[in-house]
């Protein structure tokens, strides 16, 4: 089929980008492990198994923490929390950002000004303090963490989408759609949206890394995911006091955060190059 | 008055207002009448207001332009007085428009099939599957080679002539019997041009399509059209035949 031949080069650059491919593979692996945590983890993450602060061994790959819980199992369950917080928070921010960006780009005028000035205001808050303030007022649990992170990180997407819509809506094919009687919402959803989605995917990928970092920071400060649930952030917090006696306790979740975020960035960069923005 | 009137424009005025207060009278009192099944040519130099007439008929004039006065009569109804909702219905089901540049008037991220199917879905409640079947029939009607393959391809994989055919397929997909062809052949080479003109002629004789053919190519107009109006500076200065 000639179609095959023409489509082939599409993801070629991404595939050539070995780092991005490896990163994507690792992320996929982590995601799978997180989804099947009950099967992947050797022990119950909350079970007190041995004396506290046991060094890594064959029995406990990553050692045990201050309560004698298996760190390996806890990191696997923690991956669930960290990855899902990242995913949900980014989904929220992309949906909200898309909505506002689309509306302000398409309608222009007063609506655009109003939304974009609101974006400016939101952007000028130091968001970590805003999140901390909101979290102290709400009961800190993972759902609140997801929503709060999502609702404080949609502004970039909104700006991006607005800029794209501004350029797309003046193209002749939008005029052509109008000429066959397409309504406003239809033009936005069926004709403009598919053109705008590519850069948003890139932004969303990169945003996910940020969301995971923010969740870690929140949990580290004790305002995120609450014990006994484990997330990589609150595992780090637990390990603070034992930095010298049990370095593995802080190293493991710390390195995991580092690698996950790095992988996401590499995939995001690969996509960015592929899409060409 | 033997053939029925398809579209009757009376004393249409469309002005553009620039920010420094200047008024450009793009269309300044134009009257013309296109009969059913007629190929009516509107010619004139660039910037004389030909295209503005096309956009005015469909009420697609964007600010800072404005239709000042006049009548656009379709079946005795003045389109300029219709509420926007009814006007949207007219676009596509009664009057359609195709544009000069087939390279930019198709959406690059939608496949040809999706794009042609999209048109009937804007006006009729039909499923995507039905719309796609309909789209393939339409592509056959506009004589695109290998419609089944083209359905799955994207605009950049088609030549200019094929894209213009796709545009025509979209234009007639909802049953429009009046087509505004705004320089449909200008971006194409001579032989492709002939093919497109032939297709338009065929649709005219087979389906009774009336065409308002806007072009600065008077020769082409003379060859294909019964009536020709020549415009300059927003007015019709000469009527041939």
Q: Look up residue B12 and give its two tokens.
A: 């249409």
pLDDT category at A11 given cuts 50, 70, 90 is low
Does the pLDDT value for residue A276 go beyond 80? no
pLDDT above 70: percentage of residues in chain A: 94
d(CA B15, CA B172) in angstroms, rounded, equals 30
Interfacial A residues in 134-173 facing B (CB < 8 Å): 171-173
**A179 contacts B97? CB cut-off 8 A:** yes
Q: Which residues contact B226 (CB under 8 A, 6 or more apart)?
A: B38, B39, B40, B241
Q: Cα-atom radius of gyration of chain A, to the nearest Å?
A: 22
Helix (H) or strand (E) holding B105: none
Top residue of A3, A4, A107, A173 to mutate, by most chain B CBs within 10 Å, is A173
Does the pLDDT value for residue A219 go beyond 90? no
pTM of the model: 0.80
The shortest CB-CB distance from A181 to any of B88, B106, B152 is to B88
Secondary structure (H, E, C), chain A: CHHHHHHHHHHHHHHHCHHHHHHHHHHHHHHHHHHCHHHHCCCCCCCECCCCCCCCCCCCCCCECCCCEEHHHHHHHHHHHHHHHHHHHHHHHHHHHHHHHHHHHHHCHHHHHHHHHHHHHHHHCCHHHHHHHHHHHCCCCHHHHHHHHHHCCCHHHHHHHHHHHHHHCCCHHHHHHHHCCCCHHHHHHHHHHHHHHHHHHHHHHHHHHHHHHHHHHHHHCCCCCCCCCCCHHHHHHHHHHHCCCCHHHHHHHHHHHHHHHHHHHHHHHHHHHHHCC
The shortest CB-CB distance from B101 to any of A6, A172, A190 is to A172
The residue ranges of every structural domain in chain A are: 10-46+63-275
What is the interface pTM, i.e. ipTM, of the complex?
0.85
Using a CB-CB cut-off of 8 Å, the residues of chain B touching A182 are 88, 118, 122
Q: pLDDT tens digits, residue range A205-217?
A: 888 888 888 888 8
Q: pLDDT tens digits, residue range B139-189?
A: 988 888 888 888 888 898 888 888 999 999 999 888 888 999 988 888 888
Does the pLDDT value for residue A1 go beyond 50? no
Does the pLDDT value for residue A14 go beyond 60? yes
Report chain B's mean pLDDT, rounded to a whole number.
87
d(CA B43, CA B214) in angstroms, rounded, equals 6
Distance to chain B for A217, nearest Cα, Å: 40
Size of interface A-B (CB pairs under 8 A): 69
Q: Which residue of B has its CA nearest to A198?
A: B109
| pLDDT for res A243 | 84
d(CA B138, CA A99) in angstroms, rounded, equals 35
**Mean pLDDT within A95-106:** 93
Query: What one-character DSSP code corresponds to residue B62?
Result: P
Report chain A's mean pLDDT, rounded to a whole number.
84
d(CA A212, CA A201) in angstroms, rounded, equals 17
All residue ranges of chain B with pLDDT < 70 are 1-3, 241
Does the pLDDT value for residue A253 go beyond 70? yes
Using a CB-CB cut-off of 8 Å, the residues of chain A touching B157 are 6
| pLDDT for res A155 | 92
The shortest CB-CB distance from B153 to any of A3, A173, A181 is to A3
Using a CB-CB cut-off of 8 Å, the residues of chain B touching A2 are 149
Does the pLDDT value for residue A7 go beyond 70? no
Distance to chain A for B2, nearest Cα, Å: 30
**Mean pLDDT within A27-56:** 82
Is A7 within 8 Å of chain B by CB?
no
Is A183 within 8 Å of chain B by CB?
yes
Is A195 within 8 Å of chain B by CB?
yes
pLDDT category at A125 given cuts 50, 70, 90 is confident
Helix (H) or strand (E) holding B182: strand B178-182
**A190 contacts B118? CB cut-off 8 A:** yes
d(CA B134, CA B3) in angstroms, rounded, equals 31
3-state secondary structure of B11: strand
Q: Among A149, A156, A153, A118, which Cα is nearest to A132's? A: A149
d(CA B86, CA A186) in angstroms, rounded, equals 16
Cβ atoms of A53 and A65 within 8 Å: the answer is yes
**B122 contacts A182? CB cut-off 8 A:** yes
Distance to chain B for A176, nearest Cα, Å: 6
| pLDDT for res A5 | 43
Q: How far is CA B66 from CA A51, A61, A148, B9, B87, in A?
A: 83, 75, 47, 16, 16
| pLDDT for res B2 | 55
Q: Among B67, B53, B8, which Cα is nearest to B231's? A: B53
Q: pLDDT tens digits, residue range A73-96?
A: 888 888 888 889 889 999 999 999
pLDDT category at A97 given cuts 50, 70, 90 is very high
Distance to chain B for A181, nearest Cα, Å: 5
Query: What CATH number has the domain spanning B1-90+216-241?
Result: 3.40.50.300
For chain B, which residues lie within 8 Å of any Cβ of chain A, measuring from their own Cβ? 58, 60, 88-93, 96-99, 101, 104-110, 118-119, 122-123, 149, 152-153, 157, 167, 170-171, 173-174
Q: Look up residue A210 and give its two tokens.
A: 């940020």
The superfamily (CATH) of domain A10-46+63-275 is MetI-like (1.10.3720.10)
Using a CB-CB cut-off of 8 Å, the residues of chain B touching A176 are 97-99, 105-106, 167, 170
Top residue of B53, B62, B97, B109 to mutate, by most chain A CBs within 10 Å, is B109
């Amino acid at each position: 089929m000639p179609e095959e031949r023409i489509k082939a080069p599409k993801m070629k650059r991404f595939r050539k980008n070995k780092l991005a491919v490896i990163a994507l593979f690792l992320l996929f692996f982590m995601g799978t492990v997180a989804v099947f945590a009950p099967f992947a983890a050797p022990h119950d993450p909350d079970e007190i198994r041995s004396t506290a602060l046991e060094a890594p061994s064959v029995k406990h790959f990553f050692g045990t923490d201050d309560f004698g819980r298996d760190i390996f199992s806890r990191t696997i369950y923690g991956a669930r929390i960290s990855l899902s917080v990242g995913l949900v928070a980014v989904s929220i921010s992309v949906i909200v950002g898309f909505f506002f960006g689309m509306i302000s780009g398409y309608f222009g005028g007063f609506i655009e000004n109003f939304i974009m000035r609101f974006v400016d205001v939101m952007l000028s808050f130091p968001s970590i303090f805003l999140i901390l303030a909101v979290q102290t007022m709400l009961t800190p649990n993972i759902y609140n963490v997801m929503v709060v992170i999502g609702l404080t990180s949609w502004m970039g997407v909104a700006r991006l989408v607005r800029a794209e819509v501004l350029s797309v809506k003046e193209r002749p094919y939008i005029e052509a759609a109008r000429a066959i009687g397409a309504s406003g919402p239809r033009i936005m959803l069926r004709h403009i949206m598919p053109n705008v989605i590519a850069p948003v995917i890139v932004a969303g990928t990169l945003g996910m890394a940020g969301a995971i970092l923010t969740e870690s920071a929140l949990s580290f400060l004790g305002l995120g995911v609450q014990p006994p649930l484990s997330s990589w952030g609150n595992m780090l917090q637990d390990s603070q006091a034992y930095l010298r006696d049990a370095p593995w306790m802080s190293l493991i979740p710390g390195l995991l955060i580092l690698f996950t975020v790095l992988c996401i960035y590499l995939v995001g960069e690969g996509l960015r190059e592929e899409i060409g923005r | 008055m033997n053939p029925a009137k398809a579209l009757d424009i009376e004393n249409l005025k469309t002005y553009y207002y620039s920010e420094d207060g200047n008024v450009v009278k793009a269309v300044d009192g134009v009257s013309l009448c296109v009969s059913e099944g007629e190929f009516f040519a509107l010619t004139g130099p660039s910037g004389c207001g030909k295209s503005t007439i096309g956009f005015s008929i469909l009420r697609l004039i964007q600010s800072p332009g404005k239709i000042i006065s006049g009548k656009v009569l379709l079946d005795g109804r003045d389109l300029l007085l219709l509420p926007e909702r009814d006007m949207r219905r007219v676009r596509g089901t009664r009057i359609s428009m195709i544009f000069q540049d087939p390279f930019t008037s198709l959406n690059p991220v939608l496949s040809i099939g999706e794009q042609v199917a999209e048109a009937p879905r804007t006006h009729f409640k039909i499923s995507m599957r039905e719309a796609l079947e309909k789209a393939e029939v339409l592509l056959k009607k506009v004589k695109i080679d290998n419609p089944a393959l083209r359905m799955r391809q994207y605009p950049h994989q088609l030549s200019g002539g094929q894209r213009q055919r796709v545009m025509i397929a979209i234009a007639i997909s909802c049953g429009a019997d009046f087509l505004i062809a705004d320089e449909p052949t200008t971006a194409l080479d001579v032989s492709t041009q002939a093919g497109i003109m032939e297709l338009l002629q065929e649709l005219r004789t087979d389906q009774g399509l009336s065409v308002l053919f806007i072009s600065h190519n008077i020769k082409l107009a003379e060859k294909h059209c019964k009536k020709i109006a020549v415009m300059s500076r927003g007015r019709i200065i000469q009527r041939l035949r």
